[in-house]
Amino acid sequence: MSAPVLKGDHRLPLYQRLADSLREDLRAGRWRPGDRVPSENELALDTGLAAGTVRQALAKLVDEGLLERRHGRGTFVRRPSFDQSLFRFFRFRSIDGTKPVPVSRIRACTIAIPSRYVREKLQMKEEGRAITIRRFRVIDDRPVLSEEIWLPEDRFAALMDLDLQKAGDLLYPIYDTECGQIVASAEEVLTVETADDDVRQSLGLEAAAPVIVIERLARSYDGTPLEWRRSWGRADQFSYHTEIR
Amino acid sequence: MSAPVLKGDHRLPLYQRLADSLREDLRAGRWRPGDRVPSENELALDTGLAAGTVRQALAKLVDEGLLERRHGRGTFVRRPSFDQSLFRFFRFRSIDGTKPVPVSRIRACTIAIPSRYVREKLQMKEEGRAITIRRFRVIDDRPVLSEEIWLPEDRFAALMDLDLQKAGDLLYPIYDTECGQIVASAEEVLTVETADDDVRQSLGLEAAAPVIVIERLARSYDGTPLEWRRSWGRADQFSYHTEIR
DNA sequence: CTCTACTACTTCTCTATAGAAGTATACATC
DNA sequence: GATGTATACTTCTATAGAGAAGTAGTAGAG
């Protein structure tokens, strides 16, 4: 009886250790989003585990949102879809009632020294420089979001050679194709503020109108911070639904 | 080979049908929150299914938040805990840093005709009357939430004979013990408004400060609406965290 | 060329069984 | 009374195997 070739604490259940191992492979970039991972059978043969145990490990990773199973086809690395996430909070609707793809309108893209707050969020060295983008998100010619984006220069230098104006409306695909950086997860913090002059003018608000502020830190598969952004949106268009059980 | 005694569409997988059946029993009040449901073994014998299939059904209900499993002890009906849910959105901290139990301060408890909006939320008949409670939630003598609560009179009449002032700070246990009504789930919608005069005074805010408004519809196990409430809180104490994958 | 049937793969459902591990209680021993 | 022990439960982990059901490509019939 051959001992299964799995690293990790041998006191943990086998399906746990397999899940950990696969998660590690994912982090290390063994497969890219959209790729198929080995089938239950292959994994069972590789590891010497029973099919059911392998299945349990995969179920765990599906639960965590890392994998996706398709009956008859295989198990795939999930491609995280983001730019819908932000907008699920808002009642933004296009004139015809469909859910809109907000257009990006770049105001500025420069190299700058990040504030201490941003630097710590991005875990940058003290001397590091950053690329910063200011832009609007526009629906039907109405500005609905104002955004401030910060990226570490070393990873994203290729962006400066690009004409962002004619690039697409979504940044994460550009990060991927132009800079080889894949955003795999993110944390968001949502707060409410009263609009300052700049934001008020940007969004076309009256004085002292409340705004929603969303700070997002996006990370790669291995957990290193890739992008920090702060978005301002009209609070009167905001609503968040949740179910408690 | 005896056909399993399960209702429902026979084209559905067995574990699905068992889960549906158990969910129905739960709705019908066969067990109360905290009760133990039959063990895997008992269920397997009752239904004629294999233990693994029963296990899969129970896992599904655990996933839905209805059940809770405890190693070596059994499977139990989950007791939904609510009043922490509301406050998870707020950065309310007591002076000593611990998470506080907000004190309830009743302003009024009367019988009234609900507005059309509330009536529809509670699915009440047009002639129906309602009990309405106005109260503050107070931490360290600072009002942090202002609440307006509506209950259908027929189910909650017993409340009017009660001295709510000396009852506890949480309403749902009172609903249970005094009126026999168990809150099993709820939906919340979160929006931002600018404080009107009443709310501003209640929470001690300056003019035109933003406030968070939380509307909650609480339901019993069988899905009928039990309580509708609207809460106002200081927006500057609000922050919502989420993870995207 | 088009359509069908077959084949080889995948995940999904279900069964049966065994033992590990956690929990609670009754009972004997000190 | 306190302490350990045996026992009877529970869920948890793992194995082995069979067949259903969905998917994709290929060979063959028309």
Instruction: Give every strand in the sheet of B240-244, ordered side by side.
Output: A103-112, A130-139, A142-152, A225-234, A210-219, A185-194, B240-244
Give the CA-to-C1' distance from A78 to D23 in angstroms.
Answer: 19
Q: Which of the pair, A52 or A139, is modelled with greater confidence?
A: A52
Q: Which of A185-194, B12-21, B152-161 has the lowest mean pLDDT?
A: A185-194
* pLDDT higher than threshold 90 for residue A129: yes
Inter-chain contact B209–A186, Cβ cutoff 8 Å? no
Tell me the HSE value of A185 on the side-chain side, using a 13 A CA sphere. Answer: 13
DSSP state letter for A90: B
* pLDDT higher than threshold 50 for residue B97: yes
* pLDDT higher than threshold 50 for residue A73: yes
Task: Compute φ and ψ for A46, nearest 5 degrees.
Answer: -60, -45
B129 touches strand D (CB under 7 A): no
Most B-contacting residue of A77, A242, A243 (CB-CB within 10 A), to test interface: A242
Do B77 and B32 touch, CB atoms closer than 8 A? Answer: yes
Task: Provide the pLDDT for residue B24.
Answer: 92
* pLDDT higher than threshold 60 for residue A1: no
User: Which pLDDT band holds residue B99 (cuts at 50, 70, 90)?
Assistant: low
pTM > 0.95: no
A11 touches strand D (CB under 7 A): no
Task: Provide the pLDDT for residue A141.
Answer: 86
Q: Report the distance separating Cα B209 and Cα B173, nearest Å.
A: 34
Task: Provide the pLDDT for residue B85.
Answer: 64
Q: Report the distance separating Cα B234 and Cα A57, nearest Å.
A: 44
Q: Which of the pair, A82 or B74, is modelled with greater confidence?
A: B74
Q: Tell me: the pLDDT tens digits for B108-167?
A: 999 999 999 999 999 999 999 999 999 998 888 888 899 999 999 999 999 999 988 888
Residues near chain C strand, CB within 7 A: A 39-42, 52, 55, 69-75; B 4, 13-16, 48-53, 56, 70-73
For residues A206-232, average pLDDT: 91
Task: Provide the pLDDT for residue B242.
Answer: 77
Q: Which of the pair, A176 or B45, is modelled with greater confidence?
A: B45
Task: Compute φ and ψ for B20, nearest 5 degrees.
Answer: -60, -45
Among the partner residues A185, A235, A245, nearest to B245 by beta-carbon distance: A185
Give the CA-to-C1' distance from B73 to C24 in angstroms.
Answer: 9
Task: Provide the pLDDT for residue B3.
Answer: 43
User: Which pLDDT band holds residue A84 (cuts at 50, 70, 90)?
Assistant: low
Instruction: Name the strand (E) or helix (H) holding A46.
Output: helix A40-47
Q: Which amino acid is at A173?
A: P
Beta pairing, strands B67-70 & A67-70: unpaired
Q: Tell me: the pLDDT tens digits for B203-243?
A: 989 888 999 999 999 998 788 999 999 999 988 888 887 77
| The pair of three-digit structure tokens given for residue B225, joined into one six-digit string | 């609406």
DSSP per residue, A96-133: TSSPP-PEEEEEEEEEEPPPHHHHHHTT--TT--EEEE
How far does B71 lie from chain A, in Å, by closest CA?
Answer: 15
Name the residue of chain B whose CA is nearest to A188's CA: B242
- Chain A residue numbers with beta carbons less than 8 Å from the beta carbon of B65 are 245
Task: Provide the pLDDT for residue B2.
Answer: 40
Inter-chain contact A241–B187, Cβ cutoff 8 Å? yes
Q: Which nucleotides of C are covered by protein (CB under 7 A)?
A: 9-18, 21-24
* Mean of per-residue pLDDT scores for chain A: 89
DSSP per residue, chain B: -PPP---S-TTS-HHHHHHHHHHHHHHTTSS-TTPEEPPHHHHHHHHT--HHHHHHHHHHHHHTTSEEEETTTEEEE-----HHHHHTTB----TTSSPP-PEEEEEEEEEEPPPHHHHHHTT--TT--EEEEEEEEEETTEEEEEEEEEEEHHHHGGGGGS-GGGS-S-SHHHHHHHH-----EEEEEEEEEE--HHHHHHHT--TT-EEEEEEEEEE-TTS-EEEEEEEEEEGGGB-EEEEE-
A56 touches strand D (CB under 7 A): yes
User: Which pLDDT band holds residue B90 (cuts at 50, 70, 90)?
Assistant: confident
User: Which pLDDT band holds residue B1 (cuts at 50, 70, 90)?
Assistant: very low
A51 touches strand D (CB under 7 A): yes
* pLDDT higher than threshold 70 for residue A4: no
Q: Which of the pair, A185 or B86, is modelled with greater confidence?
A: A185
